Structure 1
Amino acid sequence: MAVTVVVALLLLATSPAFMASASSPVPAAAGGSPSVPAGPLDIVQLGAKGDGKSDATQAILKAWKNACDATGTQKITIPAGNFLTGALELAGPCKSSIIIRLDGNLLGTGDLNAYKKNWIEIQNVDNLSINGHGTIDGQGPLVWKNNECQRSYNCKILPNSLVLDFVKNAQIRGITLLNSKFFHMNIFSSQNVLVDKVTIKAPGDSPNTDGIHIGDSTNVTITGTTIGVGDDCISIGPGSKMIRVHGVHCGPGHGISVGSLGRYKDEKDVEDVKVTDCTLVGTSNGLRIKSYEDSKSSPKASKFLYEGVTMDNVSYPIIIDQKYCPNNICVKSGASKVAVSDVIFRNIHGTSNTPEAVTLSCANNLPCQGVQLVNVDIKYNKSNNKTMAVCKNVAGKSIGVAKELACL
């Protein structure tokens, strides 16, 4: 089923530095005629060596400054080669629209002292495009042993690979993100972002290597992307609105998740999320909405549509969990403050690796409302038990669903 994505028409009409792309639902980050930048935009011309050993950090930072200080459309080139870097803080606002053409491979150094927080962090930029056939390789295997987040709630976070902070009108297309130290991509407080035909890869047992995390962002579209990681393929956090996920292949990983919600104070609502025509293979979870049992804030999670999703050997295909409590860090008798409503699971089919194909576990004090199971056909792929559904404190309806799954 095709996805209709609402685009900010007013922005298009008022931004002369922005042209529509015929092949994507989000405009391309393009601008007017190029101006002469302050210096070269090819990082090799600025001294970078693609030998995988020499530090290319300063060459990339200089190329960014040259492009950012110019006007029109500027194109930074990262040619074939292996370019080792430390932290890259690519900050705006910029006078230009910037294209980063990535055909080589960026390697994140294994020296954690080289990072203040993240690896590649792009901030306060309007009209950005990252495209090409190259790779952003976090070299996670060098540092994963330092990740203590599986054991400690207040752990030190390792660097995320690619972070968009306060970015408007961005496209990321065609590139590969590999073996991040922590999250592969983190989209925060951004608007009108398209991720198209991107590949994200890490071992299934790699710690906290989420594929794409979205938070406090509006109008984010992920299409035609393949994600296999050690955590959520896509995680949608508080403050996310108008999120479209279409044609994504997920696995290995923890599935496509909303949340966790309610962990921190003053979290904002999540609403208008559509996940369509996706395939999940061998993941530990499928489509999941999760909130903390003793939530610290009261965001609403509403207006969800999951449609046309294929499950292949997924452990827990459909989940709403208002009693999420990893590592037993919650007050078990805590009363949830996160309201979940208007959630539709339609045309979901395939196989489950556990008997419990549907789990809707909502809070006693705040039941889930308006949940629908429509044409859901998921079968347990082993013979020693029957497929089942578990529903607690949830109001809604089942339509065209086998008896063993029709718990609404």
Structure 2
Amino acid sequence: MRVKKLSITGKGNIDGQGKAVWTKNSCQKNYNCKILPNSLVLDFCDDALIEGISIINSKFFHMNIFQCKGVTVKDVKVTAPGDSPNTDGIHMGDSSNVSIIDTTIGVGDDCISMGPGTTKVNISGVTCGPGHGISIGSLGRYKDEKDVTDITVKNCVLKGSSNGLRIKSYEDAKSPLVASKITYENVKMEDSGNPIIIDQKYCPNKLCTSKGDADRVTVKDVTFKNITGMSSTPEAVSLLCSEKKPCEGITMSDVKIEYSGTNNKTMAVCSHVKVTATGVDKANTCAA
């Protein structure tokens, strides 16, 4: 049974009243934690529209999109304190043709997170912060996850987020998958940490069960174009790729990010990756 042409519009608030339970969230310490409720859940929807509403203080994810084909989120505001646990703004998985447009998100976890099986996503005009950035992943946590492909993030601003544009996969990935055809363009950083980060050794809170299987996740054909602004960390670019499956087809053009601290100089931290770069300070290109 699928839901077709669902619309949720207007200027109302969905208040998750999460403050009452955030202290009971144990997911940062325990993989088998009890998952708290999400505020707005779209499962098995085709051609859905979410427009104009505000979602605040969710107990867990503010919006969760699962097995949907065609979702437009437009002019939505998502708000929770920066220290509220696992309060992702918009999470999606096993879904296609998702557009997030002219939306403002400030939460305690990823502003937007794109999980396995996410394809054909357009993110445009989004302001993110506080939060953990705009993320692909985590990938590889469970067996038989599907690929992530055709993702475009364009004309966005990240303000004071702990990460910027991030791709993350577990270092103990359970089975092979590919993240590919990913484009970031015209994104401004306003004192965000780790503005550009690919992390194939992701292991939150050191909960990984084994080591050395990061080579099960392939990251390829990723473009960073006109990424500008200020970083709160010296590492403007962190490309931490797998030894057995190095990142492929990483392209940067006109990446100009300065450090907001002493001397304004930023740098790249890189492993197992070659970058094709134009209009980028050499310190940020992963050049040998």
Counterpart amino acid of residue 160 in structure 1: N
State how far apart, in whole Å, the 1-side matches of 2:206 and 2:76 are.
35
Contact kept in structure 2, 1:294 and 1:336, CA below 8 Å: no
TM-score, length basis structure 1:
0.69
Report the Cα offset of residue 336 of structure 1.
2.4
- Give the alignment of 1:333-348 within 5 angstroms: 333-348=212-227
Structure 1 residue 271 and structure 2 residue 271: aligned? Answer: no
Asked if 1:316 corresponds to 2:194, the answer is yes
Alpha carbons of 1:238 and 1:335: their partners in 2 closer, same or farther (altered >3 Å)? closer
Q: Is 1:242 aligned to residue 120 of structure 2?
A: yes
Secondary structure of the structure 1 residue equivalent to 2:144: coil
Matches within 5 A, 1:99-114: none
Report the AA paired with residue 208 of structure 1: N
Task: Give the TM-score normalised by the residue count of structure 2.
Answer: 0.97
Mapped partners of 1:395, 1:403: distance in 2:
13
> Does structure 1 conserve the Cα–Cα contact (< 8 Å) formed by 2:201 and 2:214?
no
Unpaired runs of at least 5, structure 1? 1-92, 94-123
1:368 aligns with 2:247: yes
Question: Does residue 1:216 correspond to 2:94, yes or no?
Answer: yes
User: What is the DSSP-based 3-state SS (H/G/I as helix, E as strand, rest coil) of the residue aligned with 2:163?
Assistant: coil
- Number of aligned residues: 286
**Structure possessing the higher radius of gyration over alpha carbons:** 1
Alignment of 1:8-407 (within 5 A): 93=1, 124-330=2-208, 331-383=210-262, 386-407=265-286
- Is the contact between residue 78 and residue 105 of structure 2 (CA under 8 Å) also seen in structure 1? yes
Range 375-384 or range 358-367, more displaced:
375-384
Q: Secondary structure at the match of 1:252?
A: coil
State whether residues 292 and 336 of structure 1, in contact with CA within 8 Å, keep that contact through their aligned partners in structure 2.
no
Structure 1 stretch displaced more, 324-333 or 182-191: 324-333
2:169–2:214 Cα contact (<8 Å) kept: no
Letter aligned with residue 401 of structure 1: V
Cα shift at 1:332:
3.3
Unaligned runs of 5+ in 2: none
Query: Contact 2:240 / 2:269 at 8 angstroms: preserved in 1?
Result: yes
Is the 1:398–1:407 contact (alpha carbons within 8 Å) kept by the matching residues of 2? Answer: no
Alpha carbons of 1:191 and 1:365: their partners in 2 closer, same or farther (altered >3 Å)? same
Runs of 4+ in 1 over 4 A off after TM superposition: none
> Relative to total residues, which structure has the larger strand share, 1 or 2?
2
1: CA distance, partners of 2:170 / 2:285: 26
Deviation at 1:145, TM superposition (A): 1.5
For residues 212 and 239 of structure 2, the distance between their equivalents in structure 1, rounded to whole angstroms, comes to 18
Instruction: Tell me how far apart the structure 2 counterparts of residues 189 and 395 of structure 1 sit (CA, whole Å).
Output: 35
- Counterpart of 2:215 in 1: which secondary structure? coil
1:366 to 1:178, Cα distance in 2 relative to 1, 3 A: same
1:386 CA displacement = 2.7
Q: What residue identity is the alignment partner of 1:134? A: G
Alignment identity in percent? Answer: 61
Distance across 1 between alignment mates of 2:163 and 2:231: 10
1:384, 1:206 → 2: CA distance?
Answer: 33
